[in-house]
Chains A and B, each alone.
Chain A
Amino acid sequence: MLDARTSRRTVLGGLGATVFVAGFHVPRAGAAGVADMEPNAFIRIDAQGFITLTMPQVEMGQGTYTSISMILAEELDAAWDHVKVEHAPPDETHYANPAFGVQATGNSNSIRAFWLPLRKAGAGTRAVLVEAAARGWKVPAAECRTENSQVVHDKSGRRVAYGDLVARAAAMPVPTDAPLKDPKQFKLIGRSLRRLDTPVKTDGTAVYGIDALPPGVKFAALMQSPVLGGKVAHVDDAAAKKIKGVRQIVVLDDLVAVVGDHMWAAKSGLEALDVAWNDGANAEISTADIWARLRKASERDGAVAKTVGDARKALGEGDVYTQTYEVPLLAHAPMEPLNCTVHVRPDGAEAWIGSQVLARVQRAVAKAAGLSVETVVVHNHLLGGGFGRRLEPDMAFVAARIAKQVDGPVKVVWTREEDIRHDVYRPAYHDLLSAKLSRDGRIVGWKHKTAGSSILARWLPPAFRNGVDGDGVDGAADVPYDIDNLRVEFVREEPPGVNTGFWRGVGPNNNVFAIESFIDELAHRARIDPVAFRRAHLGKTPRLKAALDLVAAKSNWGSALPPRAGRGVAVQVAFASFIATVIEAEVDEAGEVLLRRIDTAVDTGTIVNPDTVMAQLQGGLIFGLTAALYGEITVEKGRVQQSNFHDYRMLRMDQVPPINVHLIRNGEPPGGIGETGTTASMPALRNAIYAATGVALRRMPIDRTLIAGARR
């Protein structure tokens, strides 16, 4: 169980308890003076038999704490109700994500990346416990089995609890090659176990970064230069200082912050400040400039990400169909606005945050405070949504710069306006697709050029190779269709005036939207039903074909619909999951879109927790639909124009249709799931509108004026 009270006590009182103290944890003596057993970085067992699992990946709603615990507990044969979890400290040696080499949670790869390491950790620990019991009983280890946190020797009818083995097992070497379970014997994996993090989230006791309250904490609200790269020119703080509860005004070169007894004083103080800015070089940037540059860049030859056959030749003559697709800058807007609490002392610093990149947070705080990394303690927390925003440590860096000027801990909270206007935005992309169809409606040549930011070049530079951003072409280079002549290119073009970063669905978001929209138009040109057209090209991807068949059946594909209603399909292989989605939507005379129903068929290989997979699909679809219907960040005079939910609109409860998730079960290795729904929903909705109105939308978000009055 996630022990919120302990965590609260820890956070409130700074007591050196183990649960949730992310930082250094000191091996602790149990009640009987027996040291805990720590066979590896993930598992700790105490003499009472409580098993504490340290989470290498962070919990931002995707259910990973539960899934990771299930994998560890499965191989360990742990009693599920004796499992506790705690946040990992920043520690790239032990908790780096094997897929990145960095301590990061993202790209829907927690389970994929940690599947084997966690199973091995669990199996190794179990093997030690068995060995310890066998030695005690003087029987061969092979005669022992485990269940429910006990080692059992059936022949003699003896059993011993793990807790009672801790003293002996703690000193024994842990094998790295202990045999893993046969999946047929899984007792936990594959079951919809209750999530561990939800009880504290129903009664207000869950502690997010924004809830950290170290003793003596002050509160700060900040205003960063409204134009990226701008500097503070002048601050008049006379009025702000008069506000009750305002304690300090911090002016740095590119931001101002007001520190107060509570957020209200800080916010009011900030509003009372009269700040003049030197806007700097980006003062005249507008969205139109960003698009113009991107479109221009797309005329260049890109770096080649993939070639099959000879696409140039195949597209060289005859009737080539070419279209462009565009997706805009997007903000993340996690429900928990950005925040970070920092206490900078001369000899070290402490930070409280919910982050997807803990070790980077630690380094950012150290850098901002001018301290060495080892002196910085970071306490991780639950995340009130991440969606990629918390893959950046900027908020910790900024908070630490402010905290450096303040005596004692200070909690820096972004207002929603600040959060939206200073995001690290999902890049805008411009995609150019060309294809040629044979007489019988087969794709014989294909070219796809994606132009946009390279996030990896900044975020993980070694992954940016030969001008190709692997994320930027994810979903495009590995297009699932059978195409003999194919060429995929990437053009890197960074937008001026905004920062760009990962956003739920990352590269595939853009590519799947472009490809699946284009495929629908090709099917239309070939006069072939969109499902049949896709199906005919999925010979080399049978898992996707099976998903497509399933969703077609479940969604009543092909059955009659009322006028102005249509079904759209989209398929994708993304994050190693195979997903086919059908959205049924209606467009009214005014161009308003009514969502009628959603079906999605999912093959994500071995499923750890089916209910979590379904929840992630439902949530991911809604996240993507919000973007498809409303999401767009625009810039005018260097300033982001959106600010809060009244102008950066969210899908609301009364707009959401029934969502049916159909799971396909098999024994393949697990795929990723957290972002897949987001990627699926945008093209599926777009194609539903295409079916309903005949209007081929090629930009997101959906422009209601283009579909008003139209009917197929």
Chain B
Amino acid sequence: MKALSRRWKIVLGILAAGSLIGLSVAWWLIPPGALAFAGGTRVALDAYSGPNPTGVSTELKSADAVTRGRYLAALSGCQICHTEEGSAPFAGGHAFPTPFGTLYSPNITPDRRTGIGDWSDADFLRAMHKGIAKDGSHLYPAFPYDSYALMTDEDALAIKAYLFSLKPVRQTPPRNTLPFPFNQRWLMGIWGAVYTPSDRFRPHADRSPEWNRGAYLVEALAHCNDCHTERNLAEAPNNRRKFGGGIADGWLAYNITQDETSGLGAWSDDEIARYLSGSHVQGRGAAAGPMAGVVDVELNHASQADIRAMVAYLRSIPPAAGDLPAPRPTAAPDSPRAEVAAFDNRGKHVFEGACASCHGWSGASPLTGYATLTGSRAVNDPSATNVASIVLFGTERLTPQGRIAMPAFGKAYSDAEIAAVANYVTARFGARGSHLTAKDVAKLREGS
């Protein structure tokens, strides 16, 4: 599976930010905080009258630190970014390619030499909250410490306890390949100073306990903002369009605001909850790409109450209008004779050979709901970015019904063919056909 998050403009942004600090700051460069939209009164944790919204799910409240840490680490997505495919979990080495070079996630197993085995609690907290490593170097914000900054010390240290309970793995990730000036880590310090909240999560006094719990889970742990909110020139989430859609590892992370057309406004609570729990939701398409890992490796550990809390929180996000059309709700005709207007016949040829067996001519898979195209956001996205990506790279789901995978066709099919089949699929099953070209696919292939 591909990396979770890739901010190709990170360094450029940081440079821009750095040069602008001290000058009159354009308002758009410093957007409001992640929770600013909620308004109201924020209070300190111990001043909050409701149940404590931080920590683990209710059932685990009295568990030991390692157990609690495992839960929190799962919801925070540590494993996905700190694991290289085919090698030991948490041992790092996962690549984050950027146009300037490649970043590699570090080993966070308790190996003393190559991992974090010699980190003190204070070291760990400083990394989680300020993005500064034990040796004092600034971390690249591919590590989402701007979100983890909201996490309580207790929760962060539970995660540390969990990580320290793992078997130490001796593995040094490859060195980052960023050239000057992008390798100047001190620049990250400026970024961190501007964009990282200085205090931990503070509950909203006038919101429900469930909402506050959801806010903590979504913002401090799951860091949905990281992908689902577009970034400004300084590579900071533009919270004026919070959750209005962003980019994750070359894939589009779609609008998850309450917008009826482009976002989740038309989804029921139950649909969102089941989607986040890893189930297939009829008529909504299945998580794929980076989101597949999020639901299958992270969120499937969440308790139902916590999932509900996340739904409650997501429901409060103001709609951000997008340019995505409402998904076409109905299946395509079941007969291949019902043709669609695509650029050329090539898309149909690829589809009939490699795709129709699983996805069906109607888009309703005869094999598994996870392969049903009807209603899928990706298929109803006229940019077809995610459709082309899934054809190129495939996807794997570890569902309650077992492992389901789509193979990666990128090696054997040309850019022209993949563009053609993406255009065919969006035209046949989606609201509006795409106009992807071979060049577009070539770019996706390079992972830009």
Are A592 and B416 in touch, CB under 8 angstroms? yes
- Chain B residues with CB under 8 Å of A641's CB are 411
A184 part of interface (Cβ distance < 8 Å):
no
CB pair A592 B346 closer than 8 Å? yes
Q: Is the CB of B352 closer than 8 A to any CB of chain A? A: yes
In the complex, are the beta carbons of A654 and B409 less than 8 A apart? no
Q: In B341-391, which residues have CB < 8 Å from any A CB?
A: 346, 349, 352-354
A628 to chain B, nearest CB (A): 14
Q: What residue in chain B is nearest A646 (Cβ atoms)? A: B407
Contact with B along A161-198 (1 / 0, CB 8 A): 00000000000000000000000000000000000000
* A591 at interface, CB cutoff 8 A: yes
With A646-B407, A654-B352 as known contacts, state yes or no: A591 contacts B412, CB within 8 Å. no
Contact residue among B353, B407, B409, B414 (Cβ-Cβ distance under 8 Å from A590) = B414
Contacts of A655 in B (CB 8 A): 349
Q: Contact mask A620-649 → B, CB, 8 Å, 1/0?
A: 000000000010000000000110101111
Number of contacting residues on A, CB 8 A? 17
Are the C-beta atoms of B409 and A646 separated by less than 8 Å? yes
**Is B412 a contact of A648 with CB atoms below 8 Å?**
yes
A439 within 8 A of B: no
A597 contacts partner chain B, Cβ-Cβ < 8 Å: no
Contact A644 B414 (CB under 8 A): no
CB-CB nearest in chain A for B406: A646
The CA of A282 and the CA of B240, in the complex, are separated in Å by 54
Residues of A within 8 A of B409 (CB): 646-647
Does B417 make an interface contact (CB < 8 A)?
Answer: yes
Is A654 a contact partner of B353 (Cβ separation < 8 A)? yes
Taking CB atoms and an 8 Å cut-off, the chain A residues in 561-580 that contact chain B are none
- B30 is an interface residue with CB less than 8 A from chain A: no
* B354 nearest in chain A by CB position: A646
Q: Which of B396-418 contact A (CB under 8 A)?
A: 403, 407-409, 411-417
Residues of B contacting A592 with CB < 8 Å? Answer: 346, 414, 416-417
A646–B412 contact, CB under 8 A? Answer: yes
Q: Is A630 touching B412 in the complex (CB atoms < 8 A)?
A: yes
Contact with B along A673-712 (1 / 0, CB 8 A): 0000000000000000000000000000000100010000
Residues of A449-487 whose CB lies within 8 A of B: none
Q: Does B438 contact A (CB under 8 A)?
A: yes
- Complex CA gap A591/B415 in Å reads 11
Which of A642, A644, A648, A654 counts the most chain B CB atoms within 10 A? A654
Is A591 a contact partner of B416 (Cβ separation < 8 A)?
A: yes
The answer, among B346, B408, B438, for a CB contact under 8 Å with A646, is B408
A155: chain B residues within 8 A (beta carbon)? none
Contact pick for B353, options A644, A648, A652, CB 8 Å: A652
Q: Using CB atoms, name the residue of chain A closest to B352.
A: A654
Q: Bound complex: CA of A591 vs CA of B416, how far in Å?
A: 9
A704 and B411 within 8 A (CB): no
Q: A642: which B residues are within 8 A, CB to CB?
A: 411
Closest residue on chain B to residue A592 by CB atoms: B416
Chain A hits for B354, CB < 8 A:
646
Q: Which residues of the partner chain A approach B415 to less than 8 Å between Cβ atoms?
A: 590
Smallest Cβ-Cβ distance to A642: which chain B residue: B411
Complex: how many Å from CA A271 to CA B409? Answer: 22
A295 and B338 alpha carbons, distance in the complex (Å): 52
B412 contacts across to A, CB distance below 8 A? 630, 646-649
Contact with B along A507-543 (1 / 0, CB 8 A): 0000000000000000000000000000000000000
CA distance A708 to B438 in the complex (A): 11
Q: Which residues of A contact B352 (CB under 8 A)?
A: 654
**A16 vs B131: C-alpha distance when bound (angstroms):** 76
Which of B346, B411, B417 makes the CB contact (< 8 A) with A647? B411
- Rounded to whole angstroms, the CA-CA distance of A568 and B297 in the bound complex is 54
Residues of B at the A interface (CB closer than 8 Å) are 346, 349, 352-354, 394, 403, 407-409, 411-417, 438
25 contacts between A and B (CB under 8 A): A271-B403, A590-B414, A590-B416, A590-B438, A591-B414, A592-B414, A592-B416, A592-B417, A642-B411, A644-B407, A646-B394, A646-B409, A646-B412, A647-B408, A647-B409, A647-B411, A649-B412, A649-B413, A654-B349, A654-B352, A654-B353, A655-B349, A704-B414, A704-B416, A708-B416
- Given A592-B417, A647-B408; 17 other pairs, CB 8 A cutoff: A590-B415, A590-B416, A592-B414, A592-B416, A630-B412, A642-B411, A646-B394, A646-B408, A646-B409, A647-B407, A647-B411, A648-B412, A654-B349, A654-B352, A654-B353, A655-B349, A704-B414
